[in-house]
Structure 1
Amino acid sequence: MAIKVVKNLVSQEKYSLKCPNPMVPEYITIHNTANDASAKNEISYMKNNTSSTSYHFAVDDKQVIQGLPLNRNAWHTGDGKEGPGNRKSIGVEICYSKSGGAKYYAAEKLAIKFVAQLLKERGWGIDRIRKHQDWNGKYCPHRILDEGRWDEVKVAIAAELSKIGGKSSASSGSSSGSGTTYTVKKGDTLSGIAKAEGVSVANLQKWNNIKDPNKITVGQKLKLQGSSSSTSKPTSSKKSSYSLPSGVFKVTSPMRKGSEVKKIQQALAALYFYPDKGAKNNGIDGVYGPKTANAVKRFQSVNGLTADGIYGPKTKAKIEEKLK
């Protein structure tokens, strides 16, 4: 039985912010939300805030909700305005990723079935799947990566795809149903393979011990990802790494600026609530403006606080608690 998708689409008035470009998708990108909001709350928040960050679907333990039409791009992979992740991939957020547990694993299970359904509908194979990290290096989907289960998740998607009668792989040249290798064909170049597979030439060289990018041979099998043990993890987010300011911070005119604001932004980024994806330094600019207030509001909304976007003693205490 096909998985029902509940549509709660962003208004056309917000297309210029959330999904400004027409899109013919070529990939599916998997994310972990890094908080404990439901799919309904994730999509509602995405639709109604003033940040450009956007994604097509949110999946929780009970349902799949769509927030953007599939013929429009989303800003979800941080690889720039023209990057293939942002411009050519469908974004799928798996909910309840912060705390994990039964609700998260139920959400992940439903997401696996849903992604397989998306693949079948398009006649795609598992080689069209990407993790957020593949596009811009961000450590996402963080829970799956932390648990060393990215390959396991892809195998599960492949098994579900086979179960519902989909293709094991598309015609992109991948020789493996898991999408982890590529067999070089006549006329291939390393840069062309990198572009088609959504990875960098530098990574292909590193993963395959290639010193000269112009020297690849027909029939050669290339690894399309590094080992899970070599996957870089984010810097430590221990409380000792951050010295949060006291006092009350909110959007004012003129907007408050300085190193204290930057500390708040950095702490929120460590908890995956602030970056401004695609912006320089993740948007950490030391300005307490609408972007920072929105990040604070989202943090508050999933942590039992009054979601007013104002940083004060209670929000400071809760951030410090989550950073421990």
Structure 2
Amino acid sequence: MKYEIQFKYIEGLPKKSYRNGKPEGIVMHETDNEKSTIWNEIAFMSRNFLNAFVNAFADKDNIVEIADPRYICYGAGAVANRFLMGIELCHHKTKADFEASFDRWCFYAAAKLVQFDLPVIDAEKTGKGTLWSHAAVSKHLGGTTHDDPHDYLARFGYNWSMVVDRVTKYWNELKGVKTENSLPTGKVYAYEVYQSKSVGFSTSTYLSGFNDYYAAVDFCRRWDSAFVKEHNTGKTVFGPTPAIKPAIDVSKYPTLRKGSTGQYVKTLQKALGGLVVDGSYGSLTDTAVRAFQKKNGLTEDGIVGPKTWDKVING
């Protein structure tokens, strides 16, 4: 690993779960403080974490993680806090010091995306992705009015595209990314999931491999412009083009109802959205299912059988 990440966790931080059980991306902040050092920033946040805190800070010499990224931080507004991590870039006066801090800032973002098995997807324009500026959060999600880090980056001739490029560079190095013309090292899988180059990569990017088709499709559906290729033939067998998107056979999916538990309940909760993905079919899941059934003209009974499964999975 190019840089050491120091772990100096603030005591007493709340440990609240993300909306889907793990982070779905990271917000790139800057401190907007010309006179403060990284240690002053951390000390201030240690005293005021009930108001706001992020996961980490970076300066020209250090990357310091102060909050466990397995739990939410309070850094980017109520909506973003439910699913995004955050790191602050400390201010420097010279371009050399800025570049050193910028490099560590981007490295940390890449390392966290890799840690939680997330690709690099720029959310700046669409409001959908894993790599966010604070300005993009304000624009697309609300709950905050900050517009960093663009002005600070521009001061040294940098821009948001350079953030995406640098994070992607380190993500590639840490993850060992593969293109669509190469195979993952080690074990060869029957199905390979790629992120299309249309979302910002110069080539389509290998994400993961599976021997089970349905597992590959389930993983693929989590990402915009992802697709599944069959290893032996090289044929795209799922997404992103609707014309080649086969319906998933749900005939063997179990019937679920209130009180059910397990992986299929998690699949249901992920597909419905807005639920804690805990594998337990409780009252909130039952309410969500009934609302979904009503919206889609299905029998509103809270029982997830073949017709409801088909509508949930295949739309």
Q: Please, what TM-score do these two structures have when normalized by structure 2?
A: 0.49
More helix by share: 1
Larger radius of gyration: 2
**Higher RCO, 1 vs 2 (CA within 8 Å, ≥6 residues apart):** 1
Q: Please, what TM-score do these two structures have when normalized by structure 1?
A: 0.47
